[in-house]
Amino acid sequence: MKFSIQRDRLIQSVQDVMKAISSRTTIPILTGIKIVATNEGVAFTGSDSDVSIESFIPKEEDGNELVEIFAPGAIVLQAKFFSEIVKKLPMDFVEIEVINHLQTVIRSGKSEFNLNGLDPEEYPHLPQISEENVFKIPTDIVKNLIRQTVFAVSTSETRPILTGVNWKVESDRLTCIATDSHRLAMRSAAIDFVNEAKYNIVIPGKSLNELNKILDDTNEPVEIVITENQILFRAKHLLFFSRLLEGNYPDTSRLIPTESKTDIVINTKEFLQAIDRASLLAREGRNPNVVKFSTLTSGIIEISSNTPEVGKVVEQVQSQSIEGEDLKISFSAKYMMDALKALEGLEIRISFTGAMRPFIIRPINDESILQLILPVRTY
């Protein structure tokens, strides 16, 4: 194997596939990046066996030569060292050559590294995924779907299925749901699907976080293929595979109240900042981070908290409207801030059905997104 490659593209590809590589793996070959040079270009692969990422650099793009192949071939190089080295190389192009079985030379200007490679034959194969049942979503929508739901997954392994995000595909619509049983985030989007297949899968939250970091902010489509136990995201020059979580995701539809007793419309940013300040003194013993919320007259909302040894805080926010019953309720400031940051739009509507029932937060005039929070008993 011998090729010359543009350094900045090499750095980007290595950085992308590094996101799949774990320093804690027990499989030695997976500490490496697999490099495969063909006459079409060079493919880089990283994997922790749950997530596998392949980034491809073509020989040429938009008339620029990115790679010159002198001899096709393959090698696996230790990811930690290889990624540090490529970042610091002096010239715009880098030559990589396997000289003697697995001995690999990396040259750039007057800099020459000689690394002990690993046998590429030992590297596990990526899943083979059939090309049927492909559906497409613009990249920016995929990123929003992830961002607006994944924060609500459970971080506890007591119910492993809740560490993933439930993706349901039905009638040309994708609905994403995450819950840690104290709050729930839901977002749906139209998809471009040629087929009538239905899916109900659970994708690890960790995989979606990594995918979100790698995807560019474009409106180019991402192709998505779902199989029995894998999902594949295919973007330009990028393959992202994730294992699916096994088990049935709970039916969350009955958790969501369909009627409300108090409806509040409020400016998102003002409300978020008031909650953020109130959370500074929300450190009371049994319920850390819980703030009290109550409706006053003239559309004013009061948010307060108290840490006896330190002090207390009272915030008032003028809402657009309060409809229905007066209300006193307590909830986690963190959950509320997470939900508000995930929502789009200048104003939100919060619909309560009493102080002890879950309440929902939505943007005004947008049914595709919903955040639900369970209150805390303090009043």
* Residues of the shown chain interacting with a copy of itself in the complex, contacts defined by CB under 8 A: 78, 81, 84-85, 88-90, 104, 110-116, 273-274, 276-277, 280-281, 309-318
Q: Which is nearer to a copy of itself, 109 or 124 (CB)?
A: 109
Q: Which is nearer to a copy of itself, 89 or 153 (CB)?
A: 89
Q: Which is nearer to a copy of itself, 290 or 317 (CB)?
A: 317
Alpha-carbon gap, residue 255 to 116, rounded angstroms:
56
Angle at 148 between CA 195 and CA 219, to 5 degrees: 55
Alpha-carbon gap, residue 126 to 345, rounded angstroms:
41
CA dihedral for 149, 151, 154, 155, sign (positive or negative): positive
Min dist. Cβ of residue 313 to a copy of itself (A):
5
Q: Which is nearer to a copy of itself, 317 or 373 (CB)?
A: 317
Min dist. Cβ of residue 205 to a copy of itself (A):
29
Q: Which is nearer to a copy of itself, 307 or 378 (CB)?
A: 307
Min dist. Cβ of residue 26 to a copy of itself (A):
18
Alpha-carbon gap, residue 376 to 20, rounded angstroms:
38
Burial class from Cβ neighbours inside 10 Å (0-12, 13-18, 19+) for residue 17 reads buried
Min dist. Cβ of residue 89 to a copy of itself (A):
7
Alpha-carbon gap, residue 303 to 330, rounded angstroms:
9
Min dist. Cβ of residue 236 to a copy of itself (A):
31
Q: Which is nearer to a copy of itself, 80 or 206 (CB)?
A: 80
Q: Residue 166: CA atoms inside 13 Å, Cβ hemisphere, count?
A: 22
Min dist. Cβ of residue 17 to a copy of itself (A):
19
Angle at 294 between CA 292 and CA 299, to 5 degrees: 145
